Amino acid sequence: MTPALQTRPDVFDTVIVGAGVMGATTALFLARGGQKVALVDRQDMFRAASGVNAGTLTLHMTRAQLIPHAIRGREMWLDSANWLGEDVGALATPGLSMAFTEAEEELLRQRARVRQDMGAPIEVVSPKEAVRIEPGVNPALRAAAYCALDGHIPTYRVGGAYARALRQAGVTIIENSPVETITPATGGGYDVRVSSRARPVHGRRIVLSTGAWLEKMLGWLGYNIPIRCLINQLVVTETLPPVMGSVLSIANGLLSLKQFANGSVLIGGGWQGEGNIHQGGTRVIPENLRGNVRLAQYVVPRLDEAQVLRVWLGLESETPDAMPLIGALTPDDDAFVVGCVHSGFTSGPYMGRLLAERILGGNPDLSAFDPTRFSTPAATGPQS
Partner 1 sequence: MSSPDFSPVTVIGGGIAGATSAIALSRHGFPVTLIDEQPAAGGQIFRAPSPYARQTVPPNHEFSGGDALRQKLAASPVDVRFSTRVWGLSSTLTLDLIGPGGIDQLPPSTVVVANGATERFLPFQGWTTPRITGLAGASILMRNGGTLPGQTVVVAGSGPLLFSVAHQVLELGGKVVAIVDAGHRSDWFRLGAMLSLDPARLTQATRWMLRLRKAGIPIHHRAHISAAQETETGLLLTVSEMDHPERRHVYAAEAAACGYGLKPTTLITRTAGVQHRHDPAGGYLEPVTDAAGRTSRPDLYVTGDAAGIRGMAVARLRGLITAHAIAQDRGVISARTYETLTRAPRRQLRRLEAVSRQMLPLMNAGSAIPTHLQNETIVCRCERVKAATLRSAIEAGAEDLNQLKAWTRCGMGPCQGRMCEDSARGLLTAACGNTPEEAGSFTARMPFFPLPLTAVTGTFAYSDIPLPKAAPL
Ligand X SMILES: Cc1cc2nc3c(=O)[nH]c(=O)nc-3n(C[C@H](O)[C@H](O)[C@H](O)COP(=O)(O)OP(=O)(O)OC[C@H]3O[C@@H](n4cnc5c(N)ncnc54)[C@H](O)[C@@H]3O)c2cc1C
Q: Within positions 332 to 351, which residues make up the interface with ligand X, using CB under 6 A?
A: 339, 341, 343-346, 348
Question: Is 46 a binder of partner 1 (CB under 8 A)?
Answer: yes
Residue type (1 letter), 8? R
Q: State in angstroms the smallest separation of the CB of 53 from ligand X.
A: 3
**Angstrom distance (rounded) from CA 349 to CA 267:** 24
Question: Is 273 a binder of ligand X (CB under 6 A)?
Answer: no
**Angstrom distance (rounded) from CA 295 to CA 156:** 25
Residues 6+ apart with CB under 8 A from 191: 182, 183, 184, 185, 200, 201, 202
Contact track, ligand X, 208-247, x by CB under 6 A:
-xxxxx------------------x-x-------------
**Angstrom distance (rounded) from CA 242 to CA 307:** 14
Question: Is 132 a binder of partner 1 (CB under 8 A)?
Answer: no
CA 144 to chain centroid: 26
Among 105, 134, 316, 334, binds ligand X (CB under 6 A): 316
Q: Which DSSP string corresponds to 61-117?
A: SS-GGGHHHHHHHHHHHHTHHHHTSS----EEEEEEEEE-SHHHHHHHHHHHHHHHH
Q: State in angstroms the smallest separation of the CB of 163 from partner 1.
A: 5
Q: What is the dihedral of CA 131, 136, 138, 144, to 10 degrees?
A: -50
Among 208, 306, 354, 366, binds partner 1 (CB under 8 A): 306
Q: Within positions 65 to 104, which residues make up the interface with partner 1, using CB under 8 A?
A: 100-101
**Angstrom distance (rounded) from CA 324 to CA 337:** 10
**Angstrom distance (rounded) from CA 73 to CA 205:** 26
Choose the one of ligand X, partner 1, none that binds residue 19, judging by a C-beta under 5 to 8 angstroms depending on kind: ligand X
**Angstrom distance (rounded) from CA 172 to CA 21:** 16
Report in angstroms the alpha-carbon separations of 60 from 50, 67, 256: 20, 9, 10
Residues 6+ apart with CB under 8 A from 365: none
Question: Is 2 a binder of partner 1 (CB under 8 A)?
Answer: no
Question: Is 116 a binder of partner 1 (CB under 8 A)?
Answer: no
**Angstrom distance (rounded) from CA 218 to CA 205:** 15
Contact track, ligand X, 10-29, x by CB under 6 A:
-------xxxxxxx------
Question: Is 36 a binder of partner 1 (CB under 8 A)?
Answer: no
Report in angstroms the alpha-carbon separations of 243 from 120, 258, 286, 299, 380: 26, 9, 26, 11, 57
Question: Is 281 a binder of partner 1 (CB under 8 A)?
Answer: yes
For partner 1 (CB under 8 A), the number of binding residues is: 57
The sign of the dihedral angle between the CA atoms of 234, 238, 243, 246 is positive
Q: State in angstroms the smallest separation of the CB of 106 from ligand X.
A: 25
Return the number of the residue (312 or 362) whose C-beta is nearest partner 1. Answer: 312
Choose the one of ligand X, partner 1, none that binds residue 315, judging by a C-beta under 5 to 8 angstroms depending on kind: ligand X
Q: Which stretch binds partner 1 (CB under 8 A): 30-38, 214-222, 284-292, 367-375?
A: 284-292
Return the number of the residue (163 or 351) whose C-beta is nearest partner 1. Answer: 163
318 C-beta neighbours (distance < 10 Å), count: 17
Choose the one of ligand X, partner 1, none that binds residue 125, judging by a C-beta under 5 to 8 angstroms depending on kind: none
Question: Is 42 a binder of ligand X (CB under 6 A)?
Answer: yes
Q: State in angstroms the smallest separation of the CB of 246 from partner 1.
A: 19
Interface residues with ligand X (CB under 6 A) are 17-23, 40-43, 47-50, 52-56, 178-179, 209-213, 232, 234, 256, 268, 314-316, 339, 341, 343-346, 348
Interface residues with partner 1 (CB under 8 A) are 44-47, 51, 61, 63-64, 100-101, 107, 111, 114, 140, 156-157, 159-160, 163-164, 167, 173, 175, 237-238, 251-254, 270-272, 281, 283-284, 286-287, 289-291, 293-295, 297-298, 303-312, 322, 342
